[in-house]
Each structure stands twice: as structure tokens, then as C-alpha cells.
Amino acid sequence: MIGKLLKRFATVGRARTGEDGSIVVEGARKATGGKGKARIVMTMAVFFGIFSTISGRLVYLGFQTPDLSGGPQSRVTASRPDIVDRNGEVLATDIKTASLFAEPRRIVDADEAIEKLSTVLPEIDYEQTYHKLKSGAGFVWLQRQLTPKQQADIMQLGIPGFGFRTEKRRFYPSGETSSYIVGLTNIDNQGISGMEKYIDEQGLSDLQASGLAVAKDLRPVKLSIDLRVQHVVRDEIAAGLERYRAMGAGAVVLNVKTGEVVAMASVPDFDPNNPYNAQDKDRLNRMSAGLYEMGSTFKSFTSAMALDSGKATMSSRFDASHPIRVGHQAIHDFHGKNRVLSLPEVFLYSSNIGSAREAELVGIEAHREFLHRLGILEKMQTELPEVARPTEPKVWKQVNSFTIAFGHGVSTTPLQAAVGCAALVNGGFLMQPTFLVRSQEDAMAAAKKVVAEKTVEGMRYLYSLNAEKGSARNARVPGYRVGGKTGTAEKVINGRYSKELNFNTFVAAFPMDDPQYLVFTIADAPHPEKPGMTDVAANNAGVMAGNIIRRAAAMLGVKPDFSHENGATLVSYQ
């Protein structure tokens, strides 16, 4: 085309006859210059611009990634901070993984593609996948979070229209050990339970949505958990679950000086790396999300209340010679002494009648106020999202106060009961539990004084006495001066008390001369370990607590003291 134009412009001009009769074209050279030349340059520039634009566009497109219309938002692969224990051991971290997608518009034969894919992913749903591949969409997910081997095997299939996108998923090195504390993320790496959910609620989800959750800018979240102690706790309750053929078991270790949860576990649990059964009915964090009547461990609060009210002393005596009758109900002792008991004897012999008399002495309103003061009947304030709200009678009558005195008629969580007991031995300060590292100074700044120092001295004595001569003997550990209290309660099933199954608890503190740590264990519907044994708390929850202290005390930095023969723990009380 350009050649024809040049020929045309070259012959433009006026024609005349020369002297020899030839035809002369005038202005031909002139036509190739001037306006004609400008037109040639302009035309060439236009065509050069068109070809340059096309070439540049092709080069640009060659460096672009495919247009995945309908693909996931950037938040899918947003980073999360590592979660570590108090010593820096990793509890949760991000790892890269490949996810399989398809571009249905490029799929030639959906049946053949699914047939090939099923050789690597046999669990894939044929019908669902077929509808995806025949949808005509620009992008569909087929399988998220593949293993490296699965990715390599699918690539070997060479199926047109299939591709991979690199995502981030959560990996939990400790597995089941701390599953209820650390929690879970969903397929989009968003926290849905435990501390993972708490971290999102503190602003991480907003950072992810804005694209500012960059891995290098996210500092690890340090928990109060000691992974070594956590392993001991989980190991002991898992062994107890099997040994006592229980429905469930759990334990918590509290630092009574700071309110830090050093370890907490509940079984049955789940593997957060493969949480296929995490939603099963029996997989519940019984320590913070389970509501139970605590039984005789509640007598800790009743005796403390009597002492703190000023209406009773260690010398006070309570008539337990006969049952208390209220209407058609009668309150009995399990192994009654059938006589008048001193306050320490009420605690030592775990007398229901004596505890009811203590509550009667203080009064109904003061009884209710004391339990609320210790946070036993309030919803607990802590970082862990899975926290149940305690229950109590709407109107407290005399019979309610009597039964609540020995742990029946109100329901609370084991963790709350543990926190309340900690206040009875740490100097009288209620500290809301925390799963984050907290100093003693910070803890005291937020603590609330709930009982007098004299009450604390009395409770340390009672716990020590019970370990020396009472039901807490199975939890004694030589050298660590352990004190505690058992609780054996009839399990509530469908609103009725069972005569066959118990919910057992045990609270232990050590060393009793100046308690540093508290252990609270539970055994849900345990059975006797051996023929001839009973299923009371001393034989299961108490044993688990003793084993935890025996294995973990040194890790917690508590030095043994063998000056007391046979591990005696009795603390003097004036």
C-alpha cells in the first residue's frame, strides 16, 4: 500500500510536449517534496504508531498473571502473628500451602478431568465438582490446602484449565496439647475459637481487610502458658480419662500471685491440624465453657464466708447430730459423725449439715453476696472467648442457701471455682484469670480485695489440715506442702440427680505456707479404677492433681522442702 502511494505522489504535476515531441511531466520532483512529502511522513507515522501500540500491548500482557475473575480476596492469604508460650515455644504459626482452582471456561471434558483428579483426591465429590466445572464461571475452588505431594501429583496429570494458588494456613506444632487454649482458624485463616479468635477481635481482622497484615510487621503473641506444664496436665488428664473410664476430665494450673493460667486442658479434645471432630458434642472445653455443680469444693467458700463474716471462728461449733429438714427435704451427711462439730471438723469431715449451719449463721443475702463478690456467679472476664455464664436461683430461699453451702443448686465453671479458691489463699485478692503474660505488679493493680487476711490464714490451715488428715491425702507430694479439698457431687442428667454417676472436683494449692500455684482438676462421670474402690473425688480427681504437682512443681520453680516428715503440710493457725 505504501509503495502505491509513493508512485502516485511521484507522478503528480503538469504534462507538456517537449521539443522532440516527448511528454514532459513538470512538478514531479516538486510533488515528491513539499505537501506530498509531508503526507508521506504523516501516513508512515500513523502506521508506525498503530504497530507500536499493538506490539507494546502484547509485550505487556505477556508479563501479566491470568485474570482469575471471581477469585478470592487478598484476605484469604493474609498473615497471622505467631502464638508462642511464655518461654517462646511456638504454639501456632503460618505455613504456605497450595490450593487447587479451575477455570471452567477452559475445561474441555469435565468427566475426564474429574476422573483423573479422583486418582489423587479420591474423596472429592463427583457431582459437586461436575457442576462447578460445567458452570462456565471464570474461577472456582476445587480443593483448598493441599499437601506438597498432592500438588505434585495433580500437576503430573496435566489437566488443562487447572491451576494452583499459594495460600497460608495455620500449623499447630503442639497438636492436641493446647488445642482449647490456642483455638482454630477457618479455611480463610480467620480465627474462630480460642486465642486465635481473641487476636482477631483485637484488630487483626481489620488489618487483614485493609491489606496491612504483613508477616514481618506482626509480633508474636506471647501467652501465659508454659508448654512443658501444659504437656504434663494434658498427659495426666488423658491418662485419667482412660483409667477411670470417665466421660471427660480436665485441669487448670493457676499462678495465684498473678492470675496467669499456666496450663489448662480438657479431654476429649481435638487435633487443630485436622479438626474433623472439633464440633462433636463431647468435645467441650469443660474448664471454661462447661457449667457444673461443684459439690464439696464449694465448702471452701462456705467456711471462708463464715470466717470472713466475723460471726464464726475456728472455735465455733455447729450441730450436725441430726439431719436438717426443710419442708419435704432433708439434708444428710455422707459419712456423718452424728455430733456437734467444730468449724475445722465441718471442713475435714465434709459435713453437709455443718456447711448448711454455717450458711444459716451468715444469712441468705450475705451468702449470695459473698459468692458474687468472689466472682463465682458472675460471667468470668478473660481473653478466652469460650466462657459460660453461671446459673443460680432467681430467688434464694432458705433451702437454696442450705444446698448451695455444700455445692448443689448453683452451676459455675471449674476455672471460675479455681479463681475463687485462689483468692482464699493468695492474700484475699480476686484476680481475673489471664492467658497472657502478666506481672505481679500489674495483677495487683487490677486486683480486688475480697476477704480479710485472717480469713486467708484460716483457709490455708483448713486446706493443710485436710491434706494431713482428710480427703486430700491422695494429692500430697513429699516436699511440696500441698493442701486441698475434694468435691464429689451427684451428676445432673436431664434435670435430675443421678445415683450412679458423679461429677468430681479437687482443688489443691502449694506450698501451703505461702501458696504460689493452684491446681483444679475435674473427673466427669468416672468409674472406680479397681474392684472394691469407690468413685469419690479422692480416688480420681485428687490423684490426677497429685500427679500434676509431682511432675510439674520443679518446672514451675517451686523448691521442695523435706523438713516435714512424710510430706506433711500442716500450717499453724492462731
3-state secondary structure of 17: strand
Q: So what's the pLDDT on residue 564?
A: 63
Q: So what's the pLDDT on residue 44?
A: 77
CA 16 to chain centre: 103
In this prediction, the residues of the chain whose per-residue pLDDT falls under 70 are 1-36, 56-78, 205-217, 564-574
Q: What are phi and psi of 507, to 5 degrees?
A: -115, 130
Distance CA 250, CA 264 (A): 8
Burial class (CB in 10 A: 0-12, 13-18, 19+), 325: exposed
CA 175 to chain centre: 12
What sign does the dihedral 482-443-522-360 (CA atoms) show? positive
**pTM of the entire predicted model:** 0.81
Q: So what's the pLDDT on residue 556?
A: 97
Q: Of all helices (H) and strands (E), which one includes residue 440? A: helix 440-446
Q: So what's the pLDDT on residue 75?
A: 40
3-state secondary structure of 124: coil
Q: So what's the pLDDT on residue 32?
A: 46
Q: pLDDT digit string (tens) for 460-478?
A: 999 999 999 999 999 999 9
Q: Which residues are catalytic?
A: 296
Q: So what's the pLDDT on residue 256?
A: 98
